[in-house]
């Protein structure tokens, strides 16, 4: 039996009754946009994150865009983020006409290196977007310290980190705002595009609700220029059916990750580094091998019917779209090196112990 990186079929099979009922409820009510399904889910997801407000959006990218607008990021401003992330994190900065400023990673955690943020700050810097990559929170205390000293807005990109914790605080509670994605393969996934913004700032929350829905509070009165960024009821109902299982799913991901890490101990593989004050949720289980071996290992796994991925093969500062920013190979060496050495192995809550063992055996076979 082949093993995919993520198996969404197994999750649907396990929750079919609840999910089918949720979808049927929306179709029967024919209340498809916003409404009770969305507000119920928002309330429950805010409770899950330990934040006061959750505003559903039609993607994580839309949530990031709104977050930058709320932080008053304008054309010509600069926003600091990590180079080792999905393009959406930086794309929204560019969409506003602001400039992404990329910082290198801590090579052990793959997250933004807090000690390199200060030197990237200029008088134009408005905000910081730390990303909790692979479901592991960025080193937030020093990041928040720098932000406070320089009066910068902090937006957590928590698209991969639903339920992860940093010193007992949940991802999404530490910055001024945080953005989540419910892209189907994320730890909490919709059946289409969906996302959310969470915050404890009531002013931000009220403005976000207007911005995502054409700048209005009432049907035909538009206060500000807004967007069509609403979360739809079908996605909210599906997410609502899944949410009660999320903590258990994350715990199962941790168990699988611990199992991998234990069994890879004697191989020439770097397994994830998790400081004691962090509880990750392993959206991705990323190992690191010699760059000479990486593609060979991926091919070997493929031949064994095991899918492995690379998150992400090209750091953002070297992407064709960002050539105009003037970065060159060698500028952010830790991220560049990691991009050639990382490999993501299958991990999803429904993955059986036997399948985990199958992956371990295939990896061991490659090194024999």
Ligand X SMILES: *Cc1c(COP(=O)(O)O)cnc(C)c1O
Q: Give residues in contact with ligand X (CB under 6 A).
A: 59-61, 85-86, 88-89, 131, 157, 159-160, 181, 183, 193, 195
Rounded to 5 degrees, φ, ψ at 290 are -60, 140
Q: Do residues 311 and 298 touch, judged by C-beta distance below 8 A?
A: no
- Closest approach of ligand X to the CB of residue 223, in Å: 26
Query: How far apart are alpha carbons 337 and 233 in whole angstroms?
Result: 43
- Closest approach of ligand X to the CB of residue 178, in Å: 11
Q: Do residues 155 and 179 touch, judged by C-beta distance below 8 A?
A: yes
Nearer to ligand X, 297 or 335 (CB): 335
Q: Do residues 349 and 252 touch, judged by C-beta distance below 8 A?
A: yes
- Closest approach of ligand X to the CB of residue 161, in Å: 9
Nearer to ligand X, 181 or 250 (CB): 181
- Closest approach of ligand X to the CB of residue 177, in Å: 14
Closest residue to ligand X, based on beta-carbon distance = 60
Cis peptide before 312 (omega within 30 of 0): yes
Nearer to ligand X, 65 or 362 (CB): 65
Distance from the Cα of residue 325 to its chain's centroid: 24
Q: Do residues 172 and 158 touch, judged by C-beta distance below 8 A?
A: yes
Q: Do residues 157 and 179 touch, judged by C-beta distance below 8 A?
A: yes
Nearer to ligand X, 18 or 91 (CB): 91
Kindly state the tokens that stand for 63: 């949530």
Nearer to ligand X, 155 or 257 (CB): 155
What are the angstrom distances between the C-alpha of 33 and each of 232, 237, 335?
Answer: 5, 11, 41
Q: How many residues does the chain have?
A: 368
Nearer to ligand X, 69 or 356 (CB): 69
- DSSP SS3 for 72: coil
Nearer to ligand X, 79 or 297 (CB): 79
Query: How far apart are alpha carbons 128 and 155 in whole angstroms?
Result: 6
What is the phi-psi region of residue 97: left when phi exceeds 0, alpha when psi lies from -120 to 50, beta otherwise? Answer: left
Nearer to ligand X, 338 or 356 (CB): 338
- Closest approach of ligand X to the CB of residue 131, in Å: 5
- DSSP SS3 for 13: helix
- Closest approach of ligand X to the CB of residue 64, in Å: 6
- Closest approach of ligand X to the CB of residue 159, in Å: 3
- Closest approach of ligand X to the CB of residue 88, in Å: 4
Helices 8-29 and 233-242: crossing angle in degrees, nearest 10, is: 130
Kindly state the tokens that stand for 108: 């052990």
Nearer to ligand X, 158 or 362 (CB): 158
Listed in sequence order, the residues at least 6 apart from 337 whose beta carbon sits closer than 8 Å to its beta carbon are 107, 291
| Residue at token pair 């008088």 | 123
- Closest approach of ligand X to the CB of residue 353, in Å: 27
Query: How far apart are alpha carbons 326 and 317 in whole angstroms?
Result: 9
């Amino acid at each position: 039996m082949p093993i995919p990186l993520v198996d969404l079929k197994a999750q649907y099979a396990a929750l079919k009754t609840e999910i089918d009922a949720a979808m049927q409820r929306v179709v029967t009510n024919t209340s498809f946009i916003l409404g009770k399904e969305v507000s119920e889910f928002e309330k429950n997801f805010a409770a899950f994150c330990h934040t006061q407000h959750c505003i559903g959006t039609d993607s994580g990218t839309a949530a990031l865009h709104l977050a930058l607008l709320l932080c008053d990021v304008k054309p010509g401003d600069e926003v600091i983020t990590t180079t080792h992330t999905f393009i959406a994190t930086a794309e929204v900065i560019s969409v506003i006409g602001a400039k992404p400023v990329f910082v290198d990673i801590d090579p052990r955690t793959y997250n933004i290196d807090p000690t390199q943020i200060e030197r990237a700050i200029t008088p134009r810097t408005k905000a910081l977007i730390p990303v909790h990559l692979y479901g592991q929170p960025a080193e937030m205390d020093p990041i928040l310290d720098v932000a406070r000293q320089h009066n910068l807005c902090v937006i957590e990109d928590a698209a991969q980190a639903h339920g992860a914790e940093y010193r007992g605080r949940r991802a999404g509670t530490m910055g001024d705002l945080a953005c989540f994605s419910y892209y189907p393969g994320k730890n909490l996934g919709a059946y289409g595009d969906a996302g959310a913004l969470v915050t404890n700032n009531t002013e931000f929350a009220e403005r976000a609700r207007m911005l995502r829905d054409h700048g209005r509070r009432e049907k035909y009165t538009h206060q500000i220029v807004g967007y069509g960024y609403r979360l739809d009821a079908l996605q909210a109902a599906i997410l609502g059916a899944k949410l009660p299982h999320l903590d258990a799913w994350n715990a199962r991901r941790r168990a699988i990750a611990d199992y991998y890490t234990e069994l890879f101990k004697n191989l020439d593989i770097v397994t994830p580094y998790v400081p004691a004050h962090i509880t990750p949720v392993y959206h991705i289980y990323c190992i690191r091998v010699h760059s000479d071996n990486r593609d060979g290992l991926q091919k070997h796994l493929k031949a064994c019917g095991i899918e492995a991925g690379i998150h992400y093969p090209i750091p953002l500062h070297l992407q064709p779209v960002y050539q105009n920013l003037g970065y060159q190979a060698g500028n952010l060496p830790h991220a560049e090196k990691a991009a050639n050495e990382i490999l993501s192995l299958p991990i999803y809550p429904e993955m059986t112990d036997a399948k985990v063992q199958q992956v371990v055996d295939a990896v061991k076979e490659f090194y024999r």
